[in-house]
Structure 1
Amino acid sequence: MVTAESPALSVHDRYDDASIEEFRRRGWWKGGSAAALLDRWADETPTRRFVSDGVVELDYASVRERARGLGAALLRAGVRPGDRVAMQLPNWAEFVVGYLAVARIGAVLVPIMTVYRKTEVGHVLRNSGAVAAITTGEFRGFDHAAMFRELKDGCPALGTLVIARAEAGDGELSFDAACTTETDDAELGAFPGPDDAHVIVYTSGTESTAKGCVHTWNTLDFSARGLAHEVFQTRPDDVMFMPSPVAHATGLVVGVLGPLAVGSETHLLDVWEPGEGLRRIEQYRCTASATATPFVRMALDAQRDAERDLSSMRFWLCAGAPIPTALASEFHDAFDGGVLMPLYGCTEIMAGTCCHPGDPLERRAGSDGSTALDGIRIKLVGPDGHEVPTGDEGEICYWGPGGVLGYWRDPERTAATIDSDGWHHTGDLGRSDEHGYLRVSGRLKDIIIRGGTNISAAEVEGYVAAHPAVAQVAVVAYPDERLGEKVCAVVVPKPGETPTLEGITTFLRGRDIALQKLPEKVVVVDEMPMTATGKVQKFVLRDTVREA
C-alpha cells in the first residue's frame, strides 16, 4: 500500500502524448470545467430549472449562487485545490450543489453512497485522506452525521463537517448557511484544470477493500457529453429522471453531468419505490432515465395498477443485466413508444458499449450494444493476451478518452488493470458478433450484481468468516427476479454450531456493514467443493444454492 505522500496520478501516467493530442484534436477532450459549464447556463438560461427532488427546486442561477457560497465556506475552513472532500448525501438537490461547489474551488469530490456504513465509509475517508465531508443527519432510520462524528476521531485529516437538512453541531457548518456565504471570483480563484483529479469514485469490484477510481473533468465529460448527445440525444427541454444513486457512476454521469452538458434538467428520487417513481415521471414530465435493469421490471409491474401518463418518457438506458425481448416490448407499450436501451460499462470506463437510436429490437434485446461513443475501442482477449476470433469468449478490454487514470494510492492494482499499451482490462467476459455487437457473457471477477450494484464476494466472505459459528465461508450469487442477483453465504459450521441467516445478519449489522451486503440466504454444508489446487469450486456452489 502507498503512503499519503505518494504523488497524484497524472494523465501522462495513463496516456502517451500522441493519444492526448488526438483526444484534444478530435474534440473528445474539450477542456473547460464543471464550474465553467454552470456559469454558461446560469448566464444564458438563469431561470431554467436545473435540479428538483420533490422537496427542493433550483434553477441554474440559484445553483451557481449556492455552489459559490458553499465553495467559499469550504475555502475558509481550510480546503484547498486538490484536497479531497467526501460527500454522503441521498439523491437531493444538495448533492448537485455540493458537487459543483467542490468542483469550483478545484477540490476533488469523493462521493459515498448512503447505503455504506462505518466500515466502508471509514475506509474511504482514510484512504482518500478527505479533509472535509458533506453529509446529513438521519435518513431512512440511520444517523449519518453521528457516524461521521464518530469516524472523525480515527481520521486525522478530516477537519470539517458540513450538515445538510439537519442541525449542525459545534464546530460544524450548516449546509444552507454556508451556501449564503458572500464571495467573489478573487476568493474562489481560477477554474481548475481539465486534467486535474476531479472525482474519486470508490468501487469494490472483486477486491476485499474498495478502490478509488480517479477521473478528471475530461474523462468524465467525455462520457457524459457523449451519452447526452449521441445516445440520449438530449435537448435543453428534456428532464432526466434519476433514481440511481448520484453518488455513483451512473447517477453522477447520466443524472448530473449529462443534463449539465446541454443545459437541461434533472429530477432526483432519493428512495426507489416504483409507484412513487411513476408518479414523479408523470408530474415532472420526465423524458429519459438510466438505471439497473431490475428497476424497469418493478416500474412496469407498478404501472399495471397505477396507470400513470408516461407518454413523456422516450428513452430508458439499462445496465447490469440483459434486456429480455419481452421486457423491451412491454416497456414500449407501457411508455407509449418509449425505447429501452442496454449499456455495458463500469466505474473505471463509464460507458463501454451500448445500443443507439435506430437499433432494432433484436439488437437491443440480443446484445449489450456496440462501442458507445466515437473514440472508444473495445477488444476481447484470451488467456494468452491475444484477441479472440469473432464469436469466441474473451476478456473485455477498453481503450479511449473516458478511461480512469488509475486507482488512488494503489499503483499495484493500477498496473494489474491497465497494460503498457493503455488498455483497461475489465475482468468481464464477452463475445462479439460479425457486426461488432457485444454480449457480456460472464466475469473473471468474483462479484455479485445486486440491483445494478457490484458487491465483492471476497469482502462479504471476510465479514461472515468472523462469525463465531462459522468455520469456512464462500459467498456466491443466486438469481432473483427483481434484483437480478442476491447474496448467498455458503458456510461450513464449527463443531457443535448451527449458523443461521438471522444470526449472521444480526452479527454483521452490529459491525456497521452496508445493508445491501448482508447475505439474504445462508446454506449450510459439511464441506466445500474444492479443486485439486485447493480452490473453492464456486460454480458447484452456485448450482447447490439454486437447488436449495
Structure 2
Amino acid sequence: MIPCIFDITAKRAQLAGGDIAMEEVGTGRTVTYAGLDERADRAAALLADCGVGEGDRVAILCRNRIEFFEILFACAKIGAILVPLNWRMPAAEIRPLLADCAPKLLFWGAEDAEVAAQLSADIPLSLALDGDYAARRDDSPRHAGRGTWSAAGIWYLLYTSGTTGQPKAVIYTFTMAMVNFINISQPVGLTGRDTTLNFLPLFHTAGINLHTLPTLIAGGRVLIMPGFDVDVMLDLVAAGRVDAIFGVPAIYQSLSLHPRFAEVDLTRLRSWGCGGAPLSDMLVQRFLERGVRVCNGMGMTETGPTAFIMDPNRVAEKVGSVGKPQILCGVRIVGPDGEDVQPGQAGELWFGGPGVTPGYWNHPEATAAAFSPDGWLRSGDLARADEDGYYYVVGRIKEMFISGGENVYPAEVENVLTRHPAILEAAVIGVADATWGEVGQAHILPRPGHAPPSPDDLTRFCRERLAAFKVPKRFIIVTDFPRTAAGKVQKHRL
C-alpha cells in the first residue's frame, strides 16, 4: 500500500465538527471544522468545474483570510497544487514565477485587484475572492474528493524569498506537513485546546506552517489578522486569547518599542517562538525582563520549516541558541572537506529526514546542487554546537568574509553592535580592501529617540568586545533595510 494521509478537514469534521477552526479578528467571521470541510469540498468542485485537475497549479494572491486555507484544502482534495504569490511584488516580478509554474487559475483578494488585472493576460482564468469566488463556491455541490492523499504528493509550492537572487519554488509534500506538525507541536506543546495567531504572509512558509496548519491538524483555533498590527496583537495577548505565536525578529522589535510593552501581562501567552532571522541577544534579554522566554528556532523553507527550536527552560542560560534538532530532523555540521567537524567548531548545517523537500519545481540543476551525493540538504548556514548539544547559527557561508586571513562571521559582529544603546539593528557585509583583502562595513539603524552614534564611538564600542580584525572599518547610518517577507535583511542590496 502506498503511504498516505487521510483527508485532514474531513477527519477533523468527524472528530469535532462543531469546534471553531478559524476566526478573522477584524471581521469576527468564524468557521467550524465541519464548515471548513464543507467549504473546502465546494471549493474543490469549483476548481474541477474550472478545468483544474490533479497536478494542475492554482495561484492565489491575497492577504491572510479564511478563504486561503479552504482553497489550500480544496487543492488537496482533488490533487491540485496551490501556489501562493507574494503580494509585495509588482506584476513584473510575478510574471516570471507564473511562467515557471504555469497555473490554470488565479484567485485574488480585493487589496491586490490592480496587480491581478495586470496579470490577467498571463493566466487563463482569474476569480475574485470577494466576488465571483464566494458565490460560485456556495452554488457548487460538495466534491467527493480523494479520501487519501499520497504522502509523497505535492500539496503546494513556495517561492523562496530571494535574499540572493531569483526565487525558486520549493516543493511541499503532504509528508512535510505532517512532519512539521510533529516537529513544532512537541516542543511547543500544541494541542486542540490551544489558540494561535495567524498574521505572517501566506506566501511564506511561516504564514502557513507556524503555527496555523499544525493548529488545524491538532484541532485548535486559529485567529487570523490580515497582517501584523501591534496594537491588535497586544489587545489579544492582554485578553488572554492566544496561547502560542511565532514571529520574526521585526515583530519582537515592534512589540518591544510599543508604549504598552511594559504594561501588558505578556505571560498570559504561553509559547513565544521566533525564527526567519536571528533574534538579537538584547531582544531576548528585554523579553526575559518581562517574564517572557522567547524561543529562537531555525529552519528553512526547504525543511518544512521546523528544524530547531529552543527549550524555554534554557533560554536565559543559552542566549542566542536555536536549541536542538527536533524529533524528525537529522542534522550534521560539515567542514569544507565534507566531514563532520568537531564539537565547538563552525561548519555548514546539513539537514536530513522526512521533512526535507524533494527539491525545486522545474529546477533539476538547482535541486542537484542543493543536496550532497548521499542525500543531505546543504543549508548554506554556518553553525556550531556547544558541549551540551545546543546549536548556534553563526551566519551564512556566502556572508562570511576573510579579513587578513581570519574568518569573520557578520552575525557575531551584528549581535555586538545591537548591544549599543543607540542601535536598533545592524547589518554587516564584507567589502574589498587593498590591505586586508576584505573588511567589515556595518549598516546601522539607530534606535528611535537616539542620535546616531559616531564612527569613533562605534569603533571603540566594538574594540572592547571583539578582536580587531572583526571590528568594521566603515559605518553607514540607514533609515531602514531592504527585507524579505520573513524580515531578513537582503544584504546583496546593501
TM-score scaled by structure 2? 0.79
1:318 maps to 2:274 = yes
CA drift at 1:419: 1.5
Instruction: Name 1:194's counterpart in structure 2.
Output: 151
CA drift at 1:276: 2.0
Instruction: Name 1:361's counterpart in structure 2.
Output: 316
Instruction: Name 1:146's counterpart in structure 2.
Output: 114
Q: Which runs of no fewer than 5 residues in structure 1 stay unpaired?
A: 1-20, 25-29, 139-143, 168-173, 448-478, 491-527
Instruction: Name 2:71's counterpart in structure 1.
Output: 98
Over aligned residue pairs, what C-alpha RMSD do you find?
Answer: 3.1
Q: Indicate the SS of the match to 1:32.
A: strand
CA drift at 1:178: 2.7
8 Å contact kept, 2:168–2:360: yes
Instruction: Measure, in 1, the Cα distance between the counterparts of 2:50 and 2:160.
Output: 29
Instruction: Measure, in 1, the Cα distance between the counterparts of 2:324 and 2:143.
Output: 44
CA spacing shift, 1:389–1:305, aligned 2, 3 Å:
closer
Alignment: residue pair count: 428
8 Å contact kept, 2:198–2:222: yes
CA offset digits 1:274-327 (Å, max 9, x no partner): 122212334571011001123123213326368345443011111134445553
Superposed, 1:208-357 pairs within 5 Å as: 208-228=165-185, 230-283=186-239, 285-302=241-258, 304=260, 307-324=263-280, 327-332=283-288, 334=290, 337-349=291-303, 350-357=305-312
Superposed, 1:306-455 pairs within 5 Å as: 307-324=263-280, 327-332=283-288, 334=290, 337-349=291-303, 350-363=305-318, 365-371=319-325, 373-445=326-398
Instruction: Name 2:490's counterpart in structure 1.
Output: none
Instruction: Measure, in 2, the Cα distance between the counterparts of 1:176 and 1:77.
Output: 14
CA drift at 1:358: 3.6
Instruction: Measure, in 2, the Cα distance between the counterparts of 1:266 and 1:333.
Output: 28
Instruction: Name 1:510's counterpart in structure 2.
Output: none
CA offset digits 1:459-481 (Å, max 9, x no partner): xxxxxxxxxxxxxxxxxxxx889
Instruction: Name 2:8's counterpart in structure 1.
Output: 37
Instruction: Measure, in 2, the Cα distance between the counterparts of 1:53 and 1:485.
Output: 35
Instruction: Name 1:175's counterpart in structure 2.
Output: 133
CA drift at 1:366: 3.3
8 Å contact kept, 2:160–2:301: yes
CA drift at 1:92: 1.3
Q: Indicate the SS of the match to 2:336.
A: coil
Instruction: Measure, in 1, the Cα distance between the counterparts of 2:270 and 2:147.
Output: 39
Instruction: Measure, in 2, the Cα distance between the counterparts of 1:338 and 1:40.
Output: 35
CA drift at 1:214: 0.5
Q: Indicate the SS of the match to 2:268.
A: coil
CA spacing shift, 1:283–1:137, aligned 2, 3 Å:
same
Instruction: Name 2:492's counterpart in structure 1.
Output: none
CA spacing shift, 1:270–1:487, aligned 2, 3 Å:
farther
CA drift at 1:90: 0.9
Instruction: Measure, in 1, the Cα distance between the counterparts of 2:143 and 2:109.
Output: 28
Instruction: Measure, in 1, the Cα distance between the counterparts of 2:434 and 2:154.
Output: 43
CA drift at 1:192: 3.1
CA drift at 1:375: 2.9
TM-score scaled by structure 1? 0.71
Instruction: Measure, in 2, the Cα distance between the counterparts of 1:223 and 1:538.
Output: 40
Instruction: Name 1:503's counterpart in structure 2.
Output: none
CA spacing shift, 1:243–1:189, aligned 2, 3 Å:
closer
1:49 maps to 2:20 = yes
CA spacing shift, 1:87–1:369, aligned 2, 3 Å:
same
CA drift at 1:367: 1.0
Q: Which runs of no fewer than 5 residues in structure 2 stay unpaired?
A: 401-416, 444-471, 478-494
Instruction: Measure, in 1, the Cα distance between the counterparts of 2:261 and 2:354.
Output: 44
Instruction: Measure, in 2, the Cα distance between the counterparts of 1:311 and 1:530.
Output: 49
Instruction: Measure, in 2, the Cα distance between the counterparts of 1:106 and 1:268.
Output: 26
CA drift at 1:483: 8.1
Picking from 115, 120, 131, the partner of 2:104 is 131
Residue identity over aligned pairs, in percent, reads: 26
One-letter code aligned to 1:289? I
Instruction: Name 1:162's counterpart in structure 2.
Output: 127
8 Å contact kept, 1:294–1:482: no
CA spacing shift, 1:160–1:383, aligned 2, 3 Å:
same
8 Å contact kept, 1:84–1:131: yes
CA drift at 1:226: 2.5
Instruction: Name 2:39's counterpart in structure 1.
Output: 66
CA drift at 1:150: 2.0
8 Å contact kept, 1:105–1:189: yes
CA spacing shift, 1:222–1:112, aligned 2, 3 Å:
same
8 Å contact kept, 1:297–1:482: no
One-letter code aligned to 2:21? F
CA offset digits 1:367-398 (Å, max 9, x no partner): 11111x22322111122222221111111111
CA drift at 1:106: 1.1
8 Å contact kept, 2:296–2:320: no
Instruction: Name 1:500's counterpart in structure 2.
Output: none
Q: Indicate the SS of the match to 1:70.
A: helix
Instruction: Measure, in 1, the Cα distance between the counterparts of 2:257 and 2:12.
Output: 38
Instruction: Measure, in 2, the Cα distance between the counterparts of 1:132 and 1:306.
Output: 47
Instruction: Measure, in 1, the Cα distance between the counterparts of 2:48 and 2:426.
Output: 43
One-letter code aligned to 2:33? Y
1:80 maps to 2:53 = yes
Instruction: Measure, in 2, the Cα distance between the counterparts of 1:88 and 1:320.
Output: 22
8 Å contact kept, 1:275–1:306: no
